[in-house]
Structure 1
Amino acid sequence: MARKIGSRYTAHQILGRGSAGTVWLGEGPEGPVAIKLLREDLASDQELVGRFVQERTALLGLDHARVVAVRDLVVDGDDLALVMDLVRGTDLRTRLDRERRLAPAAAVSIVADVADALAAAHAAGIVHRDVKPENILLDMEGPLGPGGAHPALLTDFGVAKLIDTPGRTKSTRVIGTPDYVAPEIVEGLPPRAAVDIYALATVLYELLAGFTPFGGGHPGAVLRRHVTETVVPLPGIPDELWQLIVQCLAKAPASRLRASELAARLHDLLPLVAGMPPLDVDEPDAEPAAEAYEDDPYPTLPNAPRRTAVPLVPGSSTDSNRDTHTSMRVPAPDELSGGPRGTARAPRPAGGRRPGSARHRSEAVRKRRITLGIAALALVAAAGVGGYLATGGDDPGAPPQDSEQSSPSQPW
């Protein structure tokens, strides 16, 4: 059923649905268009509508061959819509669902196209904030590139920023998709251009491996992995490509490449990966059931040999970016580790429990009780011996002194 969108556009049929709204196939004065109609609760938010209008000039001015152009922004009654170019094709997620992983040449070609799009956006002062396969469209009418890849275009610019209005999102809420969220977003820093580079490197890893480097399981555990774990190597790809991925997945935003640098490096790597078949990579171990997270929303996952934890203690990590990253955090390190505010997290002793953990505290209480018990026995024994001496006993020994008795208890 046709639906009027403003005075110039008509929406004919639904093409897809997302978290922010519904995409329609529409018609405008210049021909077919795609119309993203935002959710009704967003359209009723006057603050968001004002922000929407403020973003209009920047979004309409973003013109690049690898960007799905925004033609118009419509505010009409309860309707809040972005009118965009219609791309005849599918999104990258659909291709991944069908093929699981791509040949390296196709993966590099697609990501190079998206990096070109981000370079133009960043130059215009626009951060996408939600780069993921669902927001990368493949133009099936365009010429085939390396590895049989169709031209890739990046869409949904500005949507994440529009939704992330003050008062609408809580301070603890993370805007974005957990698998692709940069560590600095998890830790409360404002999103800069580097968050798009991190997300795009995650997409490249996923295209090659068939899974994201830190994804799987409970969303809270996924977010923590972005901050605390190193990326697992992918066997079978050129070292130059792997080093590129590692650099763009750096914990410190300043260590990542800029979009223009990433695009240039990827284009240069295309001859190196030409003709390579898709990688044969084992899937990560299955995650525990949801019930396993009821007591700890950010658990340390057991039986995960494919991932290597990075301590949050500066100086104890093999990750060269960790010190820089922790110095930039907004929340203190103890807020992520669960310790009291204003205290540093001590390294875990080899073979021991982390100080401050529930099990460590129970062990400390048990040891303290044993110590007090021994001290009490010693006092009883001392009293017995003292009474014996006072009544004329012939034992010349002095009462035993318990060093544990006078020492202060540990501040657990």
Structure 2
Amino acid sequence: MARNIGSRYTAHQILGRGSAGTVWLGEGPEGPVAIKLLREDLASDQELVGRFVQERTALLGLDHPHVVAVRDLVVDGNDLALVMTLVRGTDLRTRLDRERRLAPEAAVAIIADVADGLAAAHKAQIVHRDVKPENILLDMEGPLGPGGAHPALLTDFGVAKLIDTPRRTKATKIIGTPDYLAPELVEGLPPRAAVDIYALATVLYELLAGFTPFGGGHPGAVLRRHVTETVVPLPGIPEELWQLLVQCLAKAPASRLRASELAVRLRDLLPLLAGIPPLEVDEPGPEESEQSPGYDEQQYTPAADEPRRRGAVPLVPGSAPDSNRDTHTSMRVPAPDELAGGPLGTARAPRAPGKPRPGSARNKAASVRKRRITLGAAAVLLCAAVAVGGWLATGGGDGDGAPQDSENSAPATP
């Protein structure tokens, strides 16, 4: 059923639902548009609306070929909506769900496009804060690039900032999607441009491997791994690409590349990646189900049959609906002692079928069992050695330890 959004736009069809609101296919004075209608509780918060209106100039001024343009901001009664350019295609999450992983050349071409868009945003002093496959759209009507990749555009600028306001989150809360959160956000530091680079490198890793480097299991465990664990290497990609990934996934924000540098470096690697097929990487096993003290369970209660895919807010026709895992999940910042203890090794290492990954609870239990077996065997050998020594000491052998011949052991004649 059609509904009016302000006096200039009409929403015709729901394209998708997310934690921040509903996305509609709409019509405006200049033709088809995508309208993101934010939740009523957001629209009724006058302080929040005021803050968002203050961002209007920055959002409307962000014009780049690899950014979904915000055309208008509508504040009308209980309606608070972003009117955006309609991208005819799909989001990157949908493609990942279909193909599991991409060839390195196509993956790098897509990420280079997004890095270009981020460079423009960062130059305008705008930090996205929620870079992930759901917020990367693929323009199916655009020209094909290296590896057959469609042009990629980054969307949903300002939404994370809209939700993350002082009235809605305390200093001890963080907002974001756990798999893509930079370590400094987990530790409670303010978001800078480097958090977008970390998230984008995480997306690139996911495109290549089929899983995120620190994701999986309870969200609290994911947060902890971002801070304490190192990324596991991916076999089959050139060393230059791997080193670029490692640099952009560095724990220290200052060690990461700037978005403009990342875009140039990625495009320089494209000729090296031509013809390389998608990687053959084993999916990591299920994570431990233990509850983490670094996560606010009151804010997130997963269903028993909840799927592993992340939340999505599709802005284009044909995209999959949002899952139970919200786009913006409120989490407690872990205390320093909860993140202490030094590195735990590599995170979510690929494993052979039937074997536990390094560092997992199953792997630790197997190591304990192995040590117990080794100690038990040593104890048996020690007991055997003591028994033989006792037998020798009680006359079971001659002075030099060699067995005596029974035929030569008759008693001496007096």
1:334 is displaced (CA, Å) by 3.4
1:256 partner letter: R
CA apart distance, 1:134: 0.1
Query: 1:170: how far off?
Result: 2.8
SS in 2 for 1:221: helix
- Taking structure 2 as the reference length, the TM-score comes to 0.72
Tell me what 2:291 maps to. 293
Q: Which has the higher contact order (CA 8 A, sep 6+)?
A: 2
Change in CA separation of 1:297 and 1:225 when aligned onto 2, cut-off 3 Å: same
Distance 2:275 2:175 in 1: 38
CA shift, 1:117, in A, is: 0.2
Q: Given the alignment of the two structures, is residue 155 of structure 1 paired with residue 155 of structure 2, yes or no?
A: yes
- Cα deviation, residue 263, structure 1: 0.2
Corresponding position of 2:388: none
SS of match in other structure, 2:16 = strand
1:198 aligned partner: 198
Given that 2:186 and 2:334 are in contact with CA atoms closer than 8 Å, whether structure 1 keeps it comes out as no
- Equivalent-residue separation in structure 2 for 1:219 and 1:173 (angstroms): 14
Structure 1 residue 346 displacement after superposition: 9.6
In the alignment, is the contact (CA less than 8 A) between 2:201 and 2:245 conserved in 1?
yes
Q: Does 1:189 align with 2:189?
A: yes
Counterpart residue number, 2:247: 247
Structure 1 CA distance for aligned equivalents of residues 85 and 117 of structure 2: 15
Structure 1: unaligned runs, 5 residues or longer = 299-329, 338-344, 349-412
Give deviations 1:213-264, integer Å, cap 9, x for gaps: 0000000000000000000000000000000000000000000000000000
Cα distance between partner residues in 2 of 1:296 and 1:37: 32
Deviation at 1:347? 11
Alpha-carbon distance in 2 for matches of 1:120, 1:63: 8
Paired letter, 1:8: R
* Pairwise CA distance, 1:335: 5.7
Deviations 1:33-84 (A, max 9, x none): 0000001111111111001100000000000000000000010000000000
For residues 346 and 159 of structure 1, the distance between their equivalents in structure 2, rounded to whole angstroms, comes to 34
Q: Under a length normalisation based on structure 1, what TM-score does the superposition of the two structures give?
A: 0.72
Q: Distance in 1 between matches of 2:208 and 2:53?
A: 39
CA contact (8 A) 2:214 2:222 kept: yes
Structure 2 CA distance for partners of 1:162 and 1:226, relative to 1, 3 Å: same
Amino acid at match of 1:55: E
Map 1:1-400; keep pairs closer than 5 Å. Answer: 1-289=1-289, 292-293=290-291, 333-334=336-337, 336-337=339-340
Provide the C-alpha distance between the structure 1 equivalents of 2:141 and 2:342, rounded to a whole number of angstroms.
58
| Larger displacement relative to structure 2 (251-260 or 44-53) | 44-53
Aligned mates of 1:333, 1:114 — CA distance in 2: 33
User: How far is the alpha carbon of 1:169 from its aligned partner?
Assistant: 1.2
Kept in 1: contact 2:228–2:343 (CA 8 A): no
User: SS of the counterpart of 2:129?
Assistant: coil
In the alignment of these two chains, the number of paired residues is 308
Q: 1:278 to 1:38 in 2, by over 3 A?
A: same
Distance 2:22 2:335 in 1: 39
Deviation at 1:296, TM superposition (A): 8.4
* Aligned mates of 2:116, 2:95 — CA distance in 1: 21
Query: Counterpart of 2:170 in 1: which secondary structure?
Result: coil
SS of 1:175's equivalent? strand
CA RMSD of aligned residues (A): 1.9
For residues 220 and 54 of structure 1, what CA distance do their matches in structure 2 show?
A: 34
Distance 1:237 1:98 in 2: 22
Aligned AA for 1:281? V
Pairwise CA distance, 1:333:
3.8
Which amino acid in structure 1 is aligned with residue 280 of structure 2?
A: D
Contact 2:89 2:139 in 1 (8 A): yes
Distance 1:331 1:175, change over 3 A: closer
Q: 1:138/1:183 Cα in 2 relative to 1: closer, same or farther (>3 Å)?
A: same
Q: Give a deviation string over 1:282-325, Cα, whole Å, max 9, x none.
A: 11121133xx3278869xxxxxxxxxxxxxxxxxxxxxxxxxxx
Checking the alignment, whether the CA contact within 8 Å between 2:13 and 2:24 is kept in structure 1 is yes
Distance apart, 1:147 and its partner CA: 1.1
Aligned partners of 2:9 and 2:29 also within 8 Å: yes
Deviations 1:89-148 (A, max 9, x none): 000000000000000001000000000000000000000000000000000000111111
Q: What letter matches 2:291 in structure 1? A: Y
- Which residue does 2:402 correspond to in 1? none
C-alpha distance after superposition, 1:139-181 (max 9, x if no partner): 0000111111100000000110011110211333221100000
Check whether the contact 2:294–2:338 (CA below 8 A) recurs between aligned residues: no
- Residues of 2 paired with 1:346 and 1:17: CA distance? 40
Where structure 2 has 5 or more consecutive residues not aligned to the other structure, the ranges are: 297-332, 345-414
Q: Which amino acid aligns with 2:54?
A: Q
Change (3 A) 1:268 1:336: same
Q: Which amino acid aligns with 1:43?
A: A
For residues 173 and 294 of structure 2, the distance between their equivalents in structure 1, rounded to whole angstroms, comes to 18
State the percentage of identical aligned residues.
87
The answer (yes or no) to whether the contact 2:228–2:339 under 8 Å persists in 1 is no
Partner SS state of residue 212, structure 2: coil
